[in-house]
Amino acid sequence: MGISSPGIGSNLDVNSIVSQLLAIDKQPVAALDLKTASFQAKLSGFGTLKGVLSQFQTALSGLSDISKFQTVKASAADASIATAIGSSVAVPGSYSLEVSKLAQSQKLNAAGQLSSTAAIGSGAATVLSFDFGTIASAIVDPVTGKPAAAVPDPVTGKFSNATFTSGGAGTKTVTIDATNNSLSGIRDAINKAAVGVTATIVNDGSGTPFRLALSVNATGEANSLKVSVAGDAALTTLLANDPAGSQALSQTAAAQNAAFKVDGIAVSKPDNKVSDVVPGVTLTLAKTNVGTPTTISVTRDTASVVSSVNAFVEAFNTTTKTLRDASAYDPVTKKAAVLNGEASVRSIQNQIRGVLAAPVAGGASTLTLLSQIGVAIQKDGTLGVDATKLQKAVDTNFSEIAGLFSAAGKSGDSLVAYTAASPKTAAGAYAVNISQLAARGSTTAGAAITAPLTITAGSNDTLQIKVNGVSSTITLAADTYTPDTLAAEIQSKINGNATFVGIGATAAVTQAGGVLSIASNAYGTISNAEVTGGSARTALRFDTGATVSAGLNVEGTINGATAVGSGQSLVGASGNAAEGLSLLISGGALGSRGNVNYSLGYAFQLKQLTTSLIGTEGAIASRTNGLSASIKDVAKSKEALNARLVTKEKQYRAQFTALDGVISKMSTTSTFLTQQLASLSKNS
């Protein structure tokens, strides 16, 4: 087969002609490429814009936190005596502080052993029970009529004529058996069980040098230790320690409360860190200073509030400038920004400006406009700050500024507290009406116990208790009890019961005139406390005539609609403007309880807006989804056009190849005719 090339027979440049014709046909493809590039540029522009709005949202998340605008500073003149931290509820002022005693924890030592690894006792399963309470002298002070301080023997470290009253927080247990009945094994078992005691072994260098040392983790007089041992006799001899009876352990440091004076008022606290003496101030005591009081100063942190306001302005201005630049047009260069003409960008700008155009509603703050604190919108749409006016506003309206930026709630009733709101809660003033207060479930015995009451092991020592719907059996320690010590014992065993600890249920046990009462510490319909059985039920008078009271949820209305009550919490009804408004009703009268005001500050509103704008259903997602769809449509159009161009090229080549053949034949015929005519001319 011969080699052929378009145009050989006719001298036509077929390739050039086809290329030029296709170049014309390809002009729409170039237009589509330009359109794609434009869409992609806009897509990139919206990506950048989303990033800026996301940064704005992050900044607003911090600035919508009410604590940012309520910072209070507290400090001690002598930081070696104490440190102080203030909260938003602290009242500015100064207080004299004189510390006479620091809180400390009790420390006890066991008798020395020859080895820390040798087995102690038979290895029979033995239960160590740890209870925390108060040690007092059994001798009554004739002047005060109260028990005198209990002081151990300075040589033996053991008490005589003392009483032990359980704090009722619950007894914790540790099991010792043949796997861990060495001194080191006992130490490790106690520490692993996390019963509130740290065990160590001390080598004192004597003939029996290894001593088990127990240190109570919590400080304070009410955290003295009682250790009961049930099982092996050798372990009982080593560890059983009842401050009111037999004591195997020696006290080396007493449980002690912190004793100090604030403005001359004597205070006793179980911990060196106290937060309920000066309202809103947490003090951490570090050293005594008897005779040389130091000063605790509480001041409003106005600098922090000014900084937060300026941070809000900066974040707003950065976002505003980015939006403006993204859609700008330069009349000098006649160049438009990538998002120029985008209606969605204008919409975002208008929505952001619209938030600041309206005053903050709801009444949780007396301040409703940024201009009231020296922040104003400039001609270019950014915010400007009048530093002098801002400082004056912070100095004179410190507590009100938070409501101008954050979501804030305010109640005129001290027993009706705003706790939270939902995204559906609208700003407003909502009337609160209470028809039923929350109550704790409880049981009160039918009569007073016969005091003193003796509890005997295996005879009258068990109670079957139901707390918050869950039942378990507790076993009281064999002893002779007064009504007070019996109430403390029952409370301790309930709160230390593994079943109740597992569900977070606790109870308070009290007595009045010898009549015992058990109450769940929870509020609401989930709350109950009942004695349902046990060998001690009759002796404690819970068998007949006992009064059982059910727990109750708070009930009432918020904004005229029946609210949802759960314990002491009352939440605005669904579909109401107050939906999700959560209030804590801690007491007070039935009926009208005034209004709760709820406001949405500017930072909070803008955070909600930016969250919506950059969300999956927001304006930016909607526009970028549209651009992505347009890019796909253009790609499909380009693909179809390219397919048509392939077909057209084939058509062009076929046409010009045919033309080439025709012209070639005509050329051949012309040559033949020319030759024939020339031949005829010669022969004529």
Euclidean distance between CA atoms 196 and 537, whole angstroms? 31
Euclidean distance between CA atoms 341 and 337, whole angstroms? 9
Predicted confidence at residue 405, as pLDDT, reads 92
Please state, in angstroms and as integers, the Cα–Cα distance from residue 133 to each residue in 71, 74, 226, 256, 581, following that order.
38, 34, 8, 12, 41
| Range list of β-strands (E), 8-148 | 72-76, 82-86, 93-101, 107-109, 126-137
Q: Which amino acid is at 601?
A: G
In degrees and rounded to multiples of 5, residue 668 shows phi and psi of: -65, -45
Enumerate residues 6+ apart whose C-beta is below 8 A from 258: 99, 101, 102, 103, 219, 267, 268, 269, 270, 271, 272, 274, 285
Q: In this structure, what token pair is assigned to residue 406?
A: 């954050």
Q: What is the largest CA-CA distance in the chain?
A: 172
Predicted confidence at residue 2, as pLDDT, reads 42
In degrees and rounded to multiples of 5, residue 507 shows phi and psi of: -140, 160
DSSP-derived secondary structure letter, 400: G
Model-level pTM? 0.76
Enumerate residues 6+ apart whose C-beta is below 8 A from 128: 173, 174, 175, 176, 190, 227, 228, 229, 235, 239
Side-chain half-sphere CA neighbours of 392 within 13 A: 10
Predicted confidence at residue 12, as pLDDT, reads 66
Please state, in angstroms and as integers, the Cα–Cα distance from residue 536 to each residue in 266, 450, 458, 465, 602, following that order.
42, 13, 10, 11, 62
Euclidean distance between CA atoms 247 and 249, whole angstroms? 6
Predicted confidence at residue 96, as pLDDT, reads 97
CB 105 within 8 A of CB 197: no
Q: Which alpha helices (DSSP H) does 549-601 contain, by range?
A: none
DSSP-derived secondary structure letter, 387: H
The DSSP result for 600-662, as a single string, is E-HHHHHHHHHHHHTSTTSHHHHHHHHHHHHHHHHHHHHHHHHHHHHHHHHHHHHHHHHHHHH
Q: Where are the domains of the chain?
A: 14-58+624-683, 72-102+259-300, 107-256, 302-411, 416-438+554-600, 442-549
The three-state secondary structure class of 536 is coil
The three-state secondary structure class of 559 is coil
Q: Which amino acid is at 610?
A: T
Euclidean distance between CA atoms 163 and 160, whole angstroms? 9
Assigned fold of 442-549: Immunoglobulin-like (2.60.40)
Euclidean distance between CA atoms 518 and 494, whole angstroms? 10
Q: In this structure, what token pair is assigned to residue 165?
A: 């009253």
Buried b (16+ CB within 10 A) or exposed e, 53-66: beebbebbeebbbb
Q: In this structure, what token pair is assigned to residue 184?
A: 């080191």
| Range list of β-strands (E), 154-278 | 162-166, 172-176, 197-203, 210-216, 224-230, 250-253, 258-262, 265-269, 273-274
Angle made by CA atoms 518, 520, 524, in degrees to the nearest 5? 135
The DSSP result for 461-511, as a single string, is -EEEEEETTEEEEEEPPSEEE-HHHHHHHHHHHHHH-HHHHHHT--EEEEE
Euclidean distance between CA atoms 528 and 466, whole angstroms? 7
Residue segments in the chain with a per-residue pLDDT below the cut of 50: 1-3
Beta bridge partners of 584: 417, 569
In degrees and rounded to multiples of 5, residue 606 shows phi and psi of: -65, -35
Enumerate residues 6+ apart whose C-beta is below 8 A from 612: 618
Euclidean distance between CA atoms 605 and 426, whole angstroms? 11
Euclidean distance between CA atoms 45 and 337, whole angstroms? 9
Predicted confidence at residue 3, as pLDDT, reads 43
Selection from 105, 106, 118 nearest residue 209 by Cα: 118
Please state, in angstroms and as integers, the Cα–Cα distance from residue 621 to each residue in 44, 51, 624, following that order.
13, 12, 5
CB 76 within 8 A of CB 82: yes
